[in-house]
Chains A and B, each alone.
Chain A
């Protein structure tokens, strides 16, 4: 199989087991596509959920990403890590979905821990700056606050954050997925962190840990 895919592709395939699996999908090997779905479904949904807000929509988009992989399997030629290619498809789908939602009424869908979906107006997306947080804020509520803070980032910052945080991708790989330069990714992630810190600063030390090396 490796000789049939060219030397550089073969080198990629040797390094990346996901590429070898995708090449089996390309060869229509029975069971290979299902194996690929099982391997990446959770990772795709984890990436998609903060982008689109609800798990249902995240699953729909993840499914669409897999079907696009399947449809284009015959044209697949490994040029980078397989996951980079898959997440590039996912990024495009997520951004298209967000753009089409923006053309509809401006609401953001946030799903609470219990799975209940709430509709929240744009002006309510971030926690009120003046409110005093309770000392023993429950983890679930804290997760809700963090979800809102993440939702307050623009979509490119959000995608850079989830790829870095949940996929542990470096700047070069994120740049490929998002069609940017590594320098632009560095800037995106830095601004995202500053924005998150601004919104979450009231909650940062609520787990009881004292600020390190911070003078009174």
Chain B
């Protein structure tokens, strides 16, 4: 009658099977193990069962990465290196310089736009004053096709001089 195996012996044996399968034994250890297997049908069966179990893991389908994975990862990476985040890392001195530069640009820009608009306004006003009568009678003049006719209307012998007091 066989004596029951000590649990530590069993554990050691299982570790030996495992190490052999993983190629972690030295050449000499592997040779010894193979000789042991050859001489013991029971050990051979146990070892084969363990080997077969390990091979069963090949039945597990390996998941494919979804199409969007790379794009999503790159998008998140870009969000990490966003310059709006980087500005938070500027020192107080740097920030002061940036604010001063921004104010200078705003001031210069505002002045330029202001003077341009002032010059334009002045030029338009002078032109309006010089031709005020023309602008006032623009609708009337548009109805007259011939300038000679207009000059004849202006002749005093056609209608006579009206008293200035009327």
Closest to A55 in B: B63
Interface residues of B in 68-124 (CB under 8 A from A): 69-70, 72-74, 76-77, 80
Total interface residues on B, CB under 8 Å, equals 37
- Of A67, A193, A200, A213, which is within 8 A of B17 by CB? A193
Q: Is B2's CB within 8 Å of the partner chain A?
A: no
Closest to A115 in B: B63
- Chain A interface mostly: helix
Report the Cα distance A33→B65, complex, angstroms: 17
Question: Which residues of chain B have C-beta atoms less than 8 A from A41's C-beta?
Answer: 65, 69-70, 73
> How far in angstroms is the closest Cβ of chain B from A24?
14
> How far in angstroms is the closest Cβ of chain A from B114?
44
Q: Is A34's CB within 8 Å of the partner chain B?
A: yes
Contact A146 to B22, CB < 8 A, known contacts A197-B49, A205-B52: no
Total interface residues on A, CB under 8 Å, equals 52
Report the Cα distance A161→B123, complex, angstroms: 87
Q: Is B158's CB within 8 Å of the partner chain A?
A: no
Contact A37 to B70, CB < 8 A, known contacts A166-B62, A204-B56: yes
Question: Which residues of chain B have C-beta atoms less than 8 A from A33's C-beta?
Answer: 74, 77
Question: Which residues of chain B have C-beta atoms less than 8 A from A178's C-beta?
Answer: none
Closest to A214 in B: B45
> How far in angstroms is the closest Cβ of chain A from B8?
12
> How far in angstroms is the closest Cβ of chain A from B131?
63
> How far in angstroms is the closest Cβ of chain A from B157?
91
> How far in angstroms is the closest Cβ of chain B from A132?
18
- Chain B interface mostly: helix
| Structural contact, A193 and B50, CB atoms closer than 8 A | yes
Q: Is A14's CB within 8 Å of the partner chain B?
A: no
Closest to B37 in A: A213
Question: Which residues of chain A have C-beta atoms less than 8 A from B52's C-beta?
Answer: 204-205, 209
Closest to A209 in B: B52
Interface residues of B in 1-47 (CB under 8 A from A): 11, 14-15, 17-19, 21-24, 41, 44-45
> How far in angstroms is the closest Cβ of chain A from B12?
9
Q: Is A176's CB within 8 Å of the partner chain B?
A: no
Can you list 11 A-B pairs with a CB-CB distance of less than 8 A?
A67-B76, A67-B80, A71-B80, A143-B59, A146-B59, A150-B60, A190-B11, A191-B14, A193-B50, A200-B53, A201-B53
Chain B residues in contact with chain A, CB under 8 A?
11, 14-15, 17-19, 21-24, 41, 44-45, 48-50, 52-54, 56-57, 59-66, 69-70, 72-74, 76-77, 80
